[in-house]
């Protein structure tokens, strides 16, 4: 069953005289329970694509549908409600509130909802169990390591049991041990909770956890790779595709 469908998405930034084409006529679908990666050189449009699909940024052209709801024709207040109820986000810079505790950060997405205290506590317990965060609950974010913060960001993203989880370079600032740990959690959430995941990444190892990868270059669709069950094999295919696609203009400009 299809959960996300995007049709002919285009997005420009910049001015009329000096436009930057960030996305150019992109279409694809994601099935419920899929773990899909978005890859491509720096500046390819990965973050813009995630932002357009999660409705943080409006496309110039095209349609975004999640769970049969057309996000691109919703009003702002409808969108805000939809995002809160159905979507989760893990940002590269965590976006946690440093002065608050782990627990306070985790339940933040639920505190403005009409959820009862007992239910909030039950969700918190579940997330703590899935991510093994219980021991850190009373610590302030400012007292945590980068890897621990990343886990809290992950917990906060899944506490509302989202249908879709968006992650932008979730392992970008982690060492390989913490990265592997986070990826194992994402895999667990994907398999046990059936959460669909859309993740942008530069990193072939991170991407090798996906079921499928969509490569974009200069804002356009470039290629697609499907996993076949063997992660090492998939990793090598990803590396080869990265060689084929080359670097971003930013890095090529000498
Ligand atoms: N708010 C903005 N205003 C103007 N240009 C923007 C804006 N956001 C993105 N761009 C431009 O759109 C293009 C795509 O940017 P985007 O951030 O989506 O790339 P990316 O693939 O996520 O890159 P990276 O791998 O470096 O994170 C780039 O040329 C970027 O400079
Ligand atoms: Mg980006």
Closest CA to 12 of 58, 55, 80, 54: 58
What residue owns the CA closest to ligand 1's atom 6?
Answer: 13
* C-alpha distances in Å from residue 189, one per residue of 8, 161, 240: 30, 10, 28
Distance 241 CA to ligand 2 centre (A): 19
d(CA 47, CA 106): 24
**Residue 246: what pLDDT?**
87
Residues at CB less than 6 angstroms from ligand 1: 13-14, 20, 22, 40, 42-48, 202
Ligand 1 atom showing the smallest separation from residue 51 Cα: 18
Question: Best mutation site among 45, 56, 166 for ligand 1, i.e. most ligand atoms within 8 A of its Cβ?
Answer: 45
**Residue 241: what pLDDT?**
97
**Residue 139: what pLDDT?**
97
- At what angle are helices 146-158 and 176-192 packed, to 10 degrees? 10
Beta pairing, strands 87-90 & 69-70: unpaired
pTM: 0.90
Place of tokens 């989202």: 162
* Nearest ligand, measured from the Cα of 20: 1
Closest CA to 43 of 66, 63, 25, 20: 20
- Kindly state the tokens that stand for 224: 């697609």
Q: Could you read off the pLDDT tens digit of each residue along the chain, which spans 254 residues?
A: 999 999 999 999 999 899 999 999 999 999 999 999 999 999 999 999 999 999 999 999 999 999 999 999 999 999 999 998 899 999 877 789 999 999 999 999 888 778 899 999 999 999 998 888 999 999 999 999 888 898 899 999 989 889 999 999 988 877 888 889 889 989 988 998 899 999 999 999 999 999 999 999 999 999 999 998 899 999 999 999 999 998 754 444 43
Write down the H helix ranges in the chain. 46-53, 76-86, 102-111, 117-131, 146-158, 176-192, 204-207, 231-245, 249-252
**Residue 254: what pLDDT?**
38
**Residue 248: what pLDDT?**
55
CB-based contact 92:85 (threshold 8 Å)? no
**Residue 252: what pLDDT?**
43
Radius of gyration, CA atoms only, the chain = 18
Question: Best mutation site among 11, 14, 18, 43 for ligand 1, i.e. most ligand atoms within 8 A of its Cβ?
Answer: 43
What residue owns the CA closest to ligand 1's atom 29?
Answer: 43
**Residue 231: what pLDDT?**
95
10 forms beta bridges with 61
């Amino acid at each position: 069953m299809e959960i996300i469908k995007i049709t002919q998405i285009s997005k420009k930034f910049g001015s009329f005289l000096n436009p930057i084409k960030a996305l150019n006529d992109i279409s694809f679908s994601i099935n419920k329970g899929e773990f899909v990666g978005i890859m491509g050189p720096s500046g390819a449009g990965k973050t813009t694509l995630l932002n357009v699909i999660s409705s943080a940024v409006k496309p110039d052209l095209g349609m975004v549908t999640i769970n049969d709801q057309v996000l691109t024709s919703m009003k702002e207040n409808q969108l805000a409600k939809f995002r809160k109820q159905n979507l989760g986000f893990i940002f590269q810079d965590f976006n946690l509130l440093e002065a608050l505790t782990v627990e306070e950060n985790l339940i933040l997405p639920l505190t403005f909802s009409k959820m009862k205290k007992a239910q909030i506590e039950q969700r918190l317990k579940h997330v703590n169990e899935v991510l093994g965060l219980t021991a850190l609950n009373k610590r302030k974010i400012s007292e945590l390591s980068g890897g621990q913060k990343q886990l809290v960001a992950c917990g906060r993203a899944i506490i509302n049991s989202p249908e879709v989880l968006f992650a932008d370079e979730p392992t970008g600032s982690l060492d390989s041990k913490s990265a592997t740990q986070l990826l194992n959690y994402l895999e667990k959430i994907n398999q046990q909770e059936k959460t669909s995941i859309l993740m942008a990444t530069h990193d072939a190892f991170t991407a090798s956890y996906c079921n499928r990868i969509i490569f974009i270059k200069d804002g356009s669709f470039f290629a697609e790779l499907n996993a076949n069950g063997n992660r090492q094999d998939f990793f090598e295919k990803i590396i080869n595709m990265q060689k084929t696609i080359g670097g971003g203009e930013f890095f090529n400009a000498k």
